[in-house]
Chain A
Amino acid sequence: MRTPISYFLLVSALLFTIGTVGVLVRRNALIIFMSIELQLNAVNLALVAFSRQNGNLTGQVLAFFSMVVAAAEVVVGLAIIVSLYRKRRSADVDDASLLKG
Chain B
Amino acid sequence: MADWYAFWLIAPISILSAGAMVLARNAVHAALLLIVNFFTLAVFFLILGSSFLFVVQIIVYAGAIMVLFLFVIMLLGVDRPVPLTERIRGQRWIATVLGLALVLEIGLAVRLGLGLSTGKVPDFSRVNAGGNVRALARVLFNSYFFPFEVTSILLTVAAIGAMLHGRRNIAEEETVDTAVGETAT
Residues of A within 8 A of B (CB): 1-11, 13-22, 24-28, 30-31, 33-35, 37-38, 41, 44-45, 48-49, 51-58, 60-61, 63-65, 67-76, 78-83, 85-89, 91-92, 94
Does B95 make an interface contact (CB < 8 A)?
yes
Q: Is chain B's binding surface mostly helix, strand, loop or mixed?
A: helix
Residues of B within 8 A of A (CB): 1, 3-4, 7, 11, 14-15, 18-19, 21-22, 24, 27, 30-31, 34, 37-38, 41, 44-45, 47-50, 52-53, 56-57, 60-61, 64-65, 68-69, 72-73, 75-76, 78, 82, 87, 91-92, 95-96, 98-100, 102-103, 106-107, 110-111, 114-119, 121-124, 126-127, 135-136, 139-140, 143-144, 147-148, 151, 154-155, 157-159, 161-162, 165-166, 168, 173, 176, 180, 182
Pick from B11, B22, B168: contact of A22, CB below 8 A: B22
The answer to whether A94 touches B155 (Cβ under 8 A) is no
User: Distance in Å from the Cβ of B37 to the closest Cβ of chain A?
Assistant: 7
Residues from chain A with Cβ under 8 Å of B69 in the complex: 30, 33-34, 74, 78
Assembly CA distance A89 to B31 (angstroms): 21
Assembly CA distance A29 to B100 (angstroms): 24
Residues from chain B with Cβ under 8 Å of A89 in the complex: 180, 182
The answer to whether A83 touches B44 (Cβ under 8 A) is no
Residues from chain A with Cβ under 8 Å of B154 in the complex: 68-69, 72
The answer to whether A55 touches B122 (Cβ under 8 A) is yes
Pick from B19, B72, B115, B165: contact of A18, CB below 8 A: B19
Pick from A33, A71, A91: contact of B60, CB below 8 A: A71
Assembly CA distance A14 to B102 (angstroms): 9
Pick from A2, A60, A78, A81: contact of B3, CB below 8 A: A2
User: Distance in Å from the Cβ of B49 to the closest Cβ of chain A?
Assistant: 6
Asked if A61 meets B49 with Cβ closer than 8 Å, knowing A44-B41, A53-B121, the reply is no
Residues from chain B with Cβ under 8 Å of A79 in the complex: 161-162, 165-166
The answer to whether A31 touches B119 (Cβ under 8 A) is no
User: Distance in Å from the Cβ of A21 to the closest Cβ of chain B?
Assistant: 4
The answer to whether A1 touches B121 (Cβ under 8 A) is yes
User: Distance in Å from the Cβ of A96 to the closest Cβ of chain B?
Assistant: 13
Assembly CA distance A27 to B57 (angstroms): 27
